[in-house]
Amino acid sequence: CNKAMTPFSFRPLSALFRLYVYALHGCLCEVAFTAVYDWCSTRDRRLTGHSSLWALPMYATAIFFLEGLRARLLAQQRSLPVRLTTYTLFIYIWEFSWGVGLRLLGACPWDYSAHRYNLKGLVTLEYALPWAVAAFIAEQHVIKNSLRIRLKSD
Protein backbone atom coordinates (compact mmCIF):
# COMPACT_ATOMS: atom_id res chain seq x y z
CA CYS A 1 0.00 0.00 0.00
CA ASN A 2 1.67 3.20 -1.15
CA LYS A 3 0.00 6.25 0.35
CA ALA A 4 1.03 9.67 -0.80
CA MET A 5 2.91 11.51 1.89
CA THR A 6 1.28 14.79 2.79
CA PRO A 7 3.51 17.45 4.29
CA PHE A 8 2.56 18.65 7.72
CA SER A 9 2.80 22.23 8.82
CA PHE A 10 3.36 23.20 12.39
CA ARG A 11 2.35 26.36 14.19
CA PRO A 12 3.52 27.80 17.49
CA LEU A 13 1.27 27.86 20.53
CA SER A 14 -1.23 30.69 20.35
CA ALA A 15 -0.99 33.59 22.79
CA LEU A 16 -4.16 32.33 24.48
CA PHE A 17 -2.70 28.87 25.03
CA ARG A 18 0.56 30.37 26.37
CA LEU A 19 -1.46 32.50 28.79
CA TYR A 20 -3.12 29.27 29.98
CA VAL A 21 0.26 27.56 30.47
CA TYR A 22 1.66 30.61 32.28
CA ALA A 23 -1.38 30.83 34.58
CA LEU A 24 -1.09 27.18 35.60
CA HIS A 25 2.68 27.42 36.07
CA GLY A 26 2.38 30.50 38.28
CA CYS A 27 -0.33 29.00 40.47
CA LEU A 28 1.52 25.71 40.83
CA CYS A 29 4.66 27.56 41.90
CA GLU A 30 2.68 29.66 44.38
CA VAL A 31 1.07 26.60 45.95
CA ALA A 32 4.48 24.89 46.21
CA PHE A 33 6.11 28.03 47.65
CA THR A 34 3.40 28.58 50.27
CA ALA A 35 3.50 24.90 51.27
CA VAL A 36 7.26 25.05 51.88
CA TYR A 37 7.11 28.52 53.47
CA ASP A 38 4.39 27.44 55.89
CA TRP A 39 6.21 24.17 56.63
CA CYS A 40 9.26 26.16 57.78
CA SER A 41 7.23 27.66 60.62
CA THR A 42 4.71 24.89 61.37
CA ARG A 43 6.46 21.66 60.29
CA ASP A 44 3.06 20.54 58.99
CA ARG A 45 3.87 17.51 56.83
CA ARG A 46 0.65 17.84 54.87
CA LEU A 47 2.32 20.67 52.90
CA THR A 48 -0.98 22.36 52.21
CA GLY A 49 -0.05 25.25 49.96
CA HIS A 50 -2.60 27.80 48.88
CA SER A 51 -3.40 30.35 46.22
CA SER A 52 -6.35 32.35 44.90
CA LEU A 53 -8.22 32.28 41.61
CA TRP A 54 -7.06 35.88 41.20
CA ALA A 55 -3.57 34.44 40.78
CA LEU A 56 -4.51 32.85 37.44
CA PRO A 57 -4.86 36.08 35.45
CA MET A 58 -2.14 37.75 37.50
CA TYR A 59 0.49 35.11 36.70
CA ALA A 60 -0.74 34.56 33.13
CA THR A 61 -0.36 38.20 32.19
CA ALA A 62 2.85 38.73 34.17
CA ILE A 63 4.67 35.87 32.45
CA PHE A 64 3.18 36.89 29.09
CA PHE A 65 4.67 40.38 29.54
CA LEU A 66 7.93 38.82 30.74
CA GLU A 67 7.97 36.94 27.42
CA GLY A 68 8.18 40.24 25.51
CA LEU A 69 10.62 41.72 28.00
CA ARG A 70 12.80 38.62 27.67
CA ALA A 71 12.89 38.98 23.88
CA ARG A 72 13.98 42.62 24.10
CA LEU A 73 16.64 42.01 26.75
CA LEU A 74 18.08 39.02 24.88
CA ALA A 75 18.11 41.03 21.62
CA GLN A 76 20.10 43.70 23.47
CA GLN A 77 22.44 40.96 24.76
CA ARG A 78 21.88 41.97 28.38
CA SER A 79 23.66 39.83 30.96
CA LEU A 80 21.77 37.39 33.17
CA PRO A 81 22.14 39.56 36.32
CA VAL A 82 20.74 42.58 34.45
CA ARG A 83 17.85 40.52 33.06
CA LEU A 84 17.00 39.02 36.46
CA THR A 85 17.11 42.44 38.12
CA THR A 86 14.84 43.85 35.42
CA TYR A 87 12.41 40.93 35.73
CA THR A 88 12.34 41.20 39.52
CA LEU A 89 11.59 44.94 39.37
CA PHE A 90 8.83 44.23 36.85
CA ILE A 91 7.38 41.55 39.14
CA TYR A 92 7.30 43.99 42.07
CA ILE A 93 5.52 46.61 39.96
CA TRP A 94 3.08 43.97 38.69
CA GLU A 95 2.35 42.54 42.14
CA PHE A 96 1.90 46.01 43.63
CA SER A 97 -0.42 47.10 40.80
CA TRP A 98 -2.57 43.97 41.07
CA GLY A 99 -2.58 44.34 44.85
CA VAL A 100 -3.86 47.91 44.65
CA GLY A 101 -6.60 46.89 42.23
CA LEU A 102 -7.64 43.85 44.22
CA ARG A 103 -7.58 45.81 47.48
CA LEU A 104 -9.96 48.36 45.93
CA LEU A 105 -12.30 45.44 45.20
CA GLY A 106 -11.85 44.08 48.72
CA ALA A 107 -10.31 40.96 47.18
CA CYS A 108 -6.53 41.12 47.76
CA PRO A 109 -5.56 37.61 48.92
CA TRP A 110 -2.18 38.59 50.37
CA ASP A 111 -0.99 40.98 53.05
CA TYR A 112 2.70 41.44 53.74
CA SER A 113 2.17 43.98 56.53
CA ALA A 114 3.83 41.63 59.04
CA HIS A 115 7.03 41.58 56.95
CA ARG A 116 9.66 44.10 57.89
CA TYR A 117 10.35 45.58 54.46
CA ASN A 118 6.91 45.97 52.91
CA LEU A 119 5.14 48.67 50.96
CA LYS A 120 1.52 49.07 52.05
CA GLY A 121 1.41 45.32 52.73
CA LEU A 122 1.31 44.66 48.97
CA VAL A 123 4.96 43.83 48.27
CA THR A 124 7.91 42.90 50.45
CA LEU A 125 11.62 43.04 49.75
CA GLU A 126 11.99 39.78 51.65
CA TYR A 127 10.74 37.99 48.53
CA ALA A 128 13.32 39.52 46.16
CA LEU A 129 15.37 36.32 45.92
CA PRO A 130 12.36 34.01 45.42
CA TRP A 131 11.04 36.37 42.74
CA ALA A 132 14.44 36.40 41.01
CA VAL A 133 14.51 32.58 41.07
CA ALA A 134 10.96 32.50 39.70
CA ALA A 135 12.01 34.89 36.93
CA PHE A 136 15.01 32.69 36.10
CA ILE A 137 12.78 29.61 35.84
CA ALA A 138 10.29 31.55 33.71
CA GLU A 139 12.98 32.85 31.36
CA GLN A 140 15.09 29.72 31.02
CA HIS A 141 12.37 27.09 31.00
CA VAL A 142 8.73 28.13 30.93
CA ILE A 143 8.84 30.90 28.31
CA LYS A 144 11.66 29.39 26.28
CA ASN A 145 9.97 26.00 25.99
CA SER A 146 6.46 27.39 25.51
CA LEU A 147 7.77 29.34 22.51
CA ARG A 148 9.45 26.22 21.11
CA ILE A 149 6.35 24.01 21.20
CA ARG A 150 4.80 23.46 17.77
CA LEU A 151 1.39 21.97 17.07
CA LYS A 152 0.46 20.20 13.88
CA SER A 153 -1.87 22.30 11.75
CA ASP A 154 -4.96 20.65 10.35
Q: Which helix (H) or strand (E) holds 42?
A: helix 15-42
Q: How far is CA 152 from CA 9, 18, 19, 114, in A?
A: 6, 16, 19, 50
**Is the predicted pLDDT of residue 3 greater than 90, yes or no?**
no
pLDDT digits (tens, 9 = 90+) for 87-96: 999 999 999 9
Write the single-letter amino acid at 21.
V
Cα(83)–Cα(104) distance, rounded to whole angstroms?
A: 32
| pLDDT class of 9 with cuts at 50, 70, 90 | confident
Would the pLDDT of 132 be above 90? yes
Q: Is 79 exposed, middle or buried (0-12, 13-18, 19+ CB in 10 A)?
A: exposed
On the question of pLDDT at 1 being above 80, the answer is: no
Per the prediction, the chain carries an average pLDDT of 95
Residue 20 has pLDDT above 70, yes or no: yes
Confidence of residue 8 (pLDDT cuts 50, 70, 90): confident
Contacts of 137 (CB under 8 A, 6+ apart): 29
Residue 99's CB is within 10 A of a number of other CB atoms, namely: 22
